[in-house]
A and B are shown apart, each in its own frame.
Chain A
Amino acid sequence: MTAALLTLADSRLPAGGHAHSGGVEQAIAMGVLTDAGSLTTFLRRRLATSGAVAAGLAAAACGGGDLAALDAEADARTPSPALRAASRQQGRGLVRVGRRAWPSAAWDELPALPHHAIALGVAAAAGGLGPRDAAQAAAYLSVSGPATAAQRLLAMDPLTVAAITARLAPEVDDVATRAVADGLPAATDPLLDLLAEVHATRKDRIFAS
Chain B
Amino acid sequence: MPPDHNLDDYVDAPGAHRHGGPLRVGLGGPVGSGKTALAAALCRTLGEEFDLAVVTNDIYTTEDADFLRRNAVLPDDRIEAVQTGCCPHTAIRDDITANLDAVELLEARHPGLELVFVESGGDNLTASFSYGLIDVQIFVLDVAGGDKVPRKGGPGVTAADLLVVNKTDLAPMVGADLDVMRRDSAAVRGGKPTLLISLRDEPTAAAVADWVREQIRVRVPA
Q: Which residues of A contact B (CB under 8 A)?
A: 4, 12-21, 89, 92-93, 96-97, 100-103, 127-128, 149, 152-153, 203-208
Contacts and interface: CB of A to CB of B under 8 A. Distances in A.
B94 A14 contact: yes
Given A149-B86, A208-B83, 17 more contacts: A4-B1, A14-B94, A14-B97, A16-B95, A16-B97, A18-B87, A18-B95, A19-B85, A89-B98, A89-B101, A100-B17, A102-B1, A128-B1, A152-B85, A203-B60, A206-B83, A208-B82
A19 B91 contact: yes
Nearest to A149: B85
A100 B61 contact: no
Given A18-B85, A100-B10, A100-B17, A206 B59 contact: yes
Interface in B74-126: 82-87, 90-91, 94-98, 100-101
Nearest to B58: A206
B23 to A, nearest CB: 21
Contact of B85 (A89, A203, A206): A206
8 contacts: A14-B94, A16-B101, A19-B84, A21-B85, A93-B101, A100-B17, A101-B10, A102-B1
Contact of B86 (A17, A89, A153): A153
Contacts, number: 74
B73 to A, nearest CB: 22
B100 A96 contact: yes
Given A100-B17, A149-B85, A206-B84, A19 B61 contact: no
Contacts of A204: 60-61
A205 B100 contact: no
B95 A206 contact: no
A204 B61 CA distance: 6
Contact of A206 (B10, B86, B94): B86
Q: How large is the interface on B (under 10, 10 to 19, 20 to 34, 35 or more residues)?
A: 20 to 34
B91 A205 contact: no
Contacts of B61: 203-205
B1 to A, nearest CB: 6
Contacts of A101: 10
A15 B96 CA distance: 8
B98 A208 contact: yes
Nearest to A127: B1
A15 B97 contact: yes
Contacts of B87: 18, 152
Contacts of A206: 59-60, 83-86
B62 interface: yes
B98 to A, nearest CB: 5
A89 B97 CA distance: 9
Contacts of B98: 16, 19, 89, 93, 208
A33 B123 CA distance: 28
B1 A19 contact: no
A39 to B, nearest CB: 16
Contacts of B60: 203-206
B95 A17 contact: yes
A14 B10 contact: no
A207 B85 contact: yes
A21 B83 CA distance: 11
A14 B59 contact: no
Contact of A92 (B10, B62, B84, B101): B101
Kindly list the 9 A-B residue pairs having the minimum CB-CB distance in the complex, ordered from nearest: A16-B97, A93-B97, A14-B95, A19-B85, A152-B86, A208-B83, A207-B85, A204-B60, A203-B62
